């Protein structure tokens, strides 16, 4: 029975086990596959993963804070996304070997509305310069597979969903600590900015934790509640059950909003597809994640 798990520290709050278990059940794999959570302290991370990889009971693991860099560092091979981003959120175990991937990048592209799947060089603003920002900048600066088209009644059971391609964006990066923003932008294909005008962007992505800590979103970020424009897309990676102050203001201005739970679903679906070779039900995952 192949095992899967999310490894983090702490990990008790993770919604991945409920979400992935729901996806496995919907695929009819609940009797064969399991998905759990492992709380592993940083000093035990490498030894624990090395053991899981050789023991043969696990097909792979998702990796979350604070282990994503360590996961890449110990892997025997890595995807282009994981190498460029410098972090792995997905490990695949096979014959005692560890392959690293990063589905945060693909998950972000797949969480974007189809309105962004056209036109080369649209402008995107990424707020932040940490690990989450690195995945976002790389994904947007390179483009890639986007959300599967929803077929209404037209798709046969065995037909794979039709992928749309999201063309590359011109990416601006704003960060509280400017030098860090400039370094990350230069490395990953963006351009550092200090005073962005929100109206210039087809897409704004918040990768900072602003909105979780009780600080005033519009004091901490270079945006004002009335700076959004209708039709633009605003994605906040923070996930809370209520819309964040950022998304509430964006929505009030007529922007399209995407929250962190949608990204969680999309990155999780990509990981599950890598391990099982099956296309999981996004709807089943969304339902599970929003119940948590
Ligand atoms: P992650 O891997 O989740 O992206 P991280 O590496 O700790 O986390 O990065 C956190 C990001 O949020 C950084 O861009 C940080 O800005 P600094 O580089 O200036 O530290 C940003 N951040 C965190 N708290 C913030 C706040 N109150 N206001 C603005 N930016 C904040």
- Per residue in 156-196, pLDDT (tens digit) is 556 666 779 999 999 999 999 999 999 999 999 999 999 99
Question: Which residues contact ligand 1 via a Cβ below 6 A?
Answer: 128-133, 175-177, 180, 207-210, 215, 220
Catalytic residue list: 68
Global pTM?
0.94
User: For ligand 1, atom 8, which residue shows the shortest CA distance?
Assistant: 130
Q: What is the pLDDT of residues 86-133, one digit of tens each?
A: 999 999 999 999 999 999 999 999 999 999 988 888 999 999 999 999
Q: What is the pLDDT of residues 137-156, one digit of tens each?
A: 999 999 999 987 655 444 45
Distance separating alpha carbons of residues 44 and 156, to the nearest angstrom: 46
Pocket test for ligand 1, best of 128, 137, 206, 238 (most atoms within 8 A of CB): 128
Distance separating alpha carbons of residues 109 and 105, to the nearest angstrom: 7
Phi/psi at 165 (nearest 5 deg)?
A: -100, 130
Pocket test for ligand 1, best of 67, 125, 190, 209 (most atoms within 8 A of CB): 209
% of the chain residues with pLDDT over 70: 95
């Amino acid at each position: 029975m192949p095992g899967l798990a999310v490894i983090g520290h702490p990990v008790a709050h993770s919604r991945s086990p409920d979400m992935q278990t729901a996806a496995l059940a919907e695929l009819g794999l609940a009797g064969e596959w399991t998905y759990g959570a492992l709380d592993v302290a940083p000093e035990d991370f490498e030894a624990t993963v090395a053991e899981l990889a050789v023991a043969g009971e696990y097909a792979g693991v998702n990796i979350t804070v604070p282990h994503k860099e360590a996961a890449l560092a110990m892997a025997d091979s890595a995807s282009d996304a994981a190498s460029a981003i410098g972090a792995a959120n997905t490990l695949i175990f096979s014959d005692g070997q560890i392959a690293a991937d990063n589905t945060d990048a693909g998950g972000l592209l797949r969480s974007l509305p189809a309105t962004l799947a056209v036109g080369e060089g649209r402008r995107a603003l990424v707020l932040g310069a940490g690990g989450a920002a690195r995945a976002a900048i790389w994904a947007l600066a390179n483009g890639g597979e986007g959300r599967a088209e929803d077929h209404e009644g037209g798709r046969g059971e065995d037909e794979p969903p039709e992928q749309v391609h999201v063309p590359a964006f011109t990416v601006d990066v704003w960060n509280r600590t400017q030098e860090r923003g400039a370094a990350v932008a230069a490395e990953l294909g963006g351009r550092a900015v200090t005073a962005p005008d929100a109206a210039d962007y087809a897409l704004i992505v918040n990768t900072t934790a602003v909105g979780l800590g009780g600080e005033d979103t519009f004091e901490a970020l270079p945006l004002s509640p009335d700076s959004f424009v209708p039709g633009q897309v605003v994605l906040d990676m923070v996930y809370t059950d209520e819309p964040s102050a950022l998304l509430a203001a964006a929505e009030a201005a007529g922007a399209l909003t995407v929250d962190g739970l949608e990204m969680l679903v999309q990155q999780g679906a990509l990981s599950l597809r890598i391990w099982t070779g099956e296309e999981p039900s996004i709807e089943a995952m969304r339902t599970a994640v929003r119940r948590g």
